[in-house]
Structure 1
Amino acid sequence: MIVAIAFSFSIPSIALSQDEESISTPTKPASAIIPSDGLYFADVVVRNRPIFQIGSLPQIDASARAEIINRRLASLLSQNENPGKVEIAPDNPRKIATLRVKNRILMTVTRQDAEDFGLSTEELAKRWKQQLDTAFDKPPLVIDVTQRLYTTTRELLRDIVGNLPSLIGASVVIGITWGVAKGVRYIAYTWAKQTEGDSNTELLIGRLSYGGVWIVGSVIALGVMGLDFGALLGALGLTSVAIGFSLKDVLSNYISGVILLAARPFRINDQVVIDEYEGTITQIQLRTTTIKTYDGRVVYLPNQEVFQASIVNNTASPQRRSSVIVGIDYGEDIGQAIAVISRVLAKISEVETYPTPDVLVKELAASTVNLEIRFWVDSHRAGFLATTSKVAQAVKEALEAANIDMPTDIYTLVLRELPSQIKLKES
């Protein structure tokens, strides 16, 4: 007797197992569970277009229920583009109805559904049947496109409305970040201007401060919008290798630019020699350094090459030493020549008095005694060349005025054992 009763109770459960909602449909209405995804209603979709919405049931939430129904509908349409009309199979004792196509169950209309929409089970089943029949009939292209646009717009608006608090919060954070970033940049720039005294370093400090505040603000804004930072870091980890290889040169130039601006081997208007290029620094950016050569050309050097090259900064110091070589005859008084040259250097205002100019015997050449005149002048190229030329001219004129001979190179030819073919004719 007990076995028979147990068998009789198991029959309805087996029969209802054909439908996913039948298991969770009680004879008496029960309150739906709180869905894990926060959605109490989900879309039933035919050909990527939402047709109607269904709600949660006591043992299944709306999203899971809609996923089962949508899978059945997709399977049906994949086998037949025009599956036919939907049929309603009512179950009056339990007050439910199943929607079928050729005895194939699509979904169940429950008492909970009827209460959600304020209709009877039969009326709601007829409405859903009509909507499914209309969706199964493939619409004309214009209508289909219009419906898809409408559906997409509706979903977009629904997402915007649903995420409106997050968007407002993120917008507030971005606005605060913008104000704080400008303030921090102004403070950092002012501090750098008072302490550094270099325009490029000041700009670098200002930009780094501004960018750092924006990075922090962006992270906070994304957090307000509900971003999963674990997933973001995972994605960055997967793509970091590819990004590193593809942007290797660009990142290297930027990093080199930051180091150059921080180390400051040269500044704007400095006159430098970098590899085969010599000229004046006109601009220092995070990616390139711009040099204007003395013949008027503009050269853009990648910072990575500048960082790795040997740099000669001619104007790092305000003064630069120049020299002039002059040769006097072996018979001249070297001391007198040095005294004449020293008096000439003292009269030229462009020659620095400190360090003191030097006149040294550099070389005993074949026909002259070469003196090297060393003196300090303005390190900029224009002043350096002009003063060097002026000193050379003044020394030459002073030595000539003092009757100190400055001979050219003399070569002596010695002829020995003349050939017999060469004959001297008497005059």
Structure 2
Amino acid sequence: MEPLKIVAALALSLVMAAPPFAAAAAPPAPATPGTVDDVVSTVETSTELAASQSLARRLQRIDGLEGVTVTVRDGVARLEGQVIDVEDRVLAAQIASQQPGVEAVENQVELSTRLSDRFDAAVRQVTGKLVRLLAATPLLAVALAIVGLAWWVGRWLGRRARVNRLGEDNPYLDGLVRRLVQWIVLLIGVLIALDLLGATALVGAVLGSAGVLGLVLGFAFKDIAENYVAGVLLSLRRPFAPGEHLRIEGFEGKVAALTSRATIMVTMEGNHLSLPNALVFKSVVLNFTRNPNRRFDFVIPIDTGESVGDAGELGLARVAAVPGVLADPGPSWQVRGYEGVGIDLQFFGWVDQRSTDLGRARSEAIRQVKSALAEAGIEGPRSVQFVHQLPDTGTAPRVPSSVENDPADCDTSVNRDIDAQLAAEQRALSGDNLI
């Protein structure tokens, strides 16, 4: 500021010291009273006016800041007017602070509460986006073509990605690998399309939030994720196959399907049973079908006065004669226990579950042993004895018929009662079955 004052003082002294002929050469100008400070103030005012006009033009070129007015005085820019968003108010202050000659900003801009202003701003924003979208239509078409091509290439590669080429055939893993390949190729295509459209910031935001989103979903869907992982592990280990007879945590039935979340079974009563995969994976699974040979047993009590050896041999012969009972390993018997009123004889027999039903064979074996002991006069335990005189009717006592005691007439075939329901469940879950 001092150089300006010096220049103004020199100019004023030169004017006052001008020769007389200069005044005669031109008509005298009206006298303007003033000092050096007045001249400097005039120079400062013109500089501030130029700064105000420059800053106003910058604000006018920005959408949303058209209603902001600027006044620059003594190095302080005073902003007034109304805007729609808080971001516009902050942006106006930032632009003013970057203007040369502005040392401080007094932001008096207010937020407009008029509905018409907000509606006009929304219309302008939507119109601007539509215009930009129309201008980017060729790039958008190319981006969509890239995504479509990635989807087709992913399906093509997925159909040719098979795990069973490396070893064991696993339909679920084949499907999982196919879907994984499809999604990876499609994701690559989407990332290329977004980069082509200039949406790299969106790509970074999506990739950055994927980890956080994964953690949130992991906690929110812990049980679902646990069952899904257990289903994958069960499909890899394959502890059972469709149609096999299992007992899991006290639940018994035949396997219909293994889905991503549950193991579906049909109980022996024909009921639909769904067990969570996590429960199945952590439980003790008893598979009755994996080994085709299965043993049955039953207990027959006899009186303490009867011959244990004779009763055992008679019963053993009848068990061996039951259709479906295997000769290797053959049937056997043992004394299970002795009580004051009787002796318990336990008989064992083996059947091939592929051709013989265990329950039917056991039932027929019990009937045959009981009949053999009755024919031999071997009685059961007698805790209390009754004497009953039958009237003489002239008829012989009833003797069990040969048909009743003939084991060839019994049915020990495999039980097919729930096969139809089991097949229906397997058909219904064929798309989700992992085994």
Identify whether the pair has TM-score above 0.5, normalized to the shorter chain.
Answer: yes
Counterpart-to-counterpart distance in 2, 1:280 and 1:195: 24
Counterpart-to-counterpart distance in 1, 2:126 and 2:64: 23
Question: Which secondary structure does the structure 2 equivalent of 1:366 belong to?
Answer: coil
| Structure-2 change in CA distance of 1:14 and 1:375 (3 Å) | same
Q: Which residue of 1 aligns with 2:330?
A: 356
2:63 is the counterpart of 1:70? yes
Q: In the alignment, residue 376 of structure 1 is paired with which amino acid?
A: W
Q: In the alignment, residue 273 of structure 1 is paired with which amino acid?
A: R
- Deviation of 1:409 after TM superposition, in Å, equals 4.2
Q: Which residue of 2 aligns with 1:405?
A: 378
Q: 1:325 pairs with 288, 293, 299, which one?
A: 299
Task: Map residues 94-113 of structure 1 onto 2, 5 A cutoff.
Answer: none
- Deviation of 1:316 after TM superposition, in Å, equals 2.4
- Deviation of 1:373 after TM superposition, in Å, equals 0.7
Question: Which secondary structure does the structure 1 equivalent of 2:335 belong to?
Answer: strand
Q: Which residue of 1 aligns with 2:253?
A: 279
Q: Which residue of 2 aligns with 1:221?
A: 189
Q: Which residue of 2 aligns with 1:365?
A: 339
Deviation sequence 1:333-371 (CA, Å, 0-9, x none):
333323222322332231122222211121122232221
Question: Which secondary structure does the structure 2 equivalent of 1:163 belong to?
Answer: helix
| Structure-2 change in CA distance of 1:371 and 1:300 (3 Å) | same
Counterpart-to-counterpart distance in 2, 1:157 and 1:407: 98
- Answer yes or no: is the 8 Å Cα contact 1:256–1:303 preserved in 2: yes
- Deviation of 1:13 after TM superposition, in Å, equals 8.3
Q: Which structure has the larger Rg?
A: 2
Deviation sequence 1:119-138 (CA, Å, 0-9, x none):
xxxxxxxxxxxxxxxxxxx7
Q: What is the root-mean-square deviation in Å for CA atoms of aligned residues?
A: 4.0
| Structure-2 change in CA distance of 1:155 and 1:251 (3 Å) | same
Q: 1:160 pairs with 90, 113, 137, which one?
A: 137
Q: 1:177 pairs with 131, 151, 154, which one?
A: 154
- Answer yes or no: is the 8 Å Cα contact 2:332–2:348 preserved in 1: yes
Task: Map residues 254-403 of structure 1 onto 2, 5 A cutoff.
Answer: 254-379=228-353, 383-401=357-375, 403=376
| Structure-2 change in CA distance of 1:369 and 1:156 (3 Å) | same
Q: Which residue of 2 aligns with 1:97?
A: none
Counterpart-to-counterpart distance in 2, 1:393 and 1:14: 118
Counterpart-to-counterpart distance in 1, 2:60 and 2:330: 93
- Answer yes or no: is the 8 Å Cα contact 1:367–1:407 preserved in 2: no
Deviation sequence 1:380-413 (CA, Å, 0-9, x none):
8981111100111111112222x1413234159x
- Answer yes or no: is the 8 Å Cα contact 1:350–1:377 preserved in 2: yes
- Answer yes or no: is the 8 Å Cα contact 2:333–2:345 preserved in 1: yes
Q: Percent identity?
A: 21
Deviation sequence 1:186-240 (CA, Å, 0-9, x none):
x44x649x844xxxxx331122111220232133213312256654332123333
- Answer yes or no: is the 8 Å Cα contact 1:360–1:371 preserved in 2: yes
- Deviation of 1:71 after TM superposition, in Å, equals 4.5
- Deviation of 1:295 after TM superposition, in Å, equals 1.9
Counterpart-to-counterpart distance in 2, 1:305 and 1:150: 57
Deviation sequence 1:14-57 (CA, Å, 0-9, x none):
7654456999xxxxxxxxxxxxxxxxxxxxxxxxxxxxxxxxxx
| Structure-2 change in CA distance of 1:255 and 1:15 (3 Å) | same
TM-score, with length taken from structure 2: 0.59
Question: Which secondary structure does the structure 1 equivalent of 2:136 belong to?
Answer: helix
| Structure-2 change in CA distance of 1:382 and 1:346 (3 Å) | closer
Question: Which secondary structure does the structure 1 equivalent of 2:241 belong to?
Answer: coil
Q: Which residue of 2 aligns with 1:207?
A: 175
- Deviation of 1:325 after TM superposition, in Å, equals 0.9
- Deviation of 1:322 after TM superposition, in Å, equals 0.7
Q: Which residue of 2 aligns with 1:90?
A: none
Counterpart-to-counterpart distance in 2, 1:148 and 1:12: 37
- Answer yes or no: is the 8 Å Cα contact 1:355–1:376 preserved in 2: yes
- Deviation of 1:256 after TM superposition, in Å, equals 1.3
Q: In the alignment, residue 309 of structure 1 is paired with which amino acid?
A: S
Question: Which secondary structure does the structure 2 equivalent of 1:376 belong to?
Answer: strand
Q: In the alignment, residue 167 of structure 1 is paired with which amino acid?
A: L
Counterpart-to-counterpart distance in 1, 2:294 and 2:379: 28
Question: Which secondary structure does the structure 1 equivalent of 2:255 belong to?
Answer: strand
Counterpart-to-counterpart distance in 1, 2:142 and 2:362: 74
TM-score, with length taken from structure 1: 0.60
Counterpart-to-counterpart distance in 1, 2:382 and 2:47: 123
Task: Map residues 75-94 of structure 1 onto 2, 5 A cutoff.
Answer: 75=68, 79=81
Counterpart-to-counterpart distance in 1, 2:68 and 2:352: 88
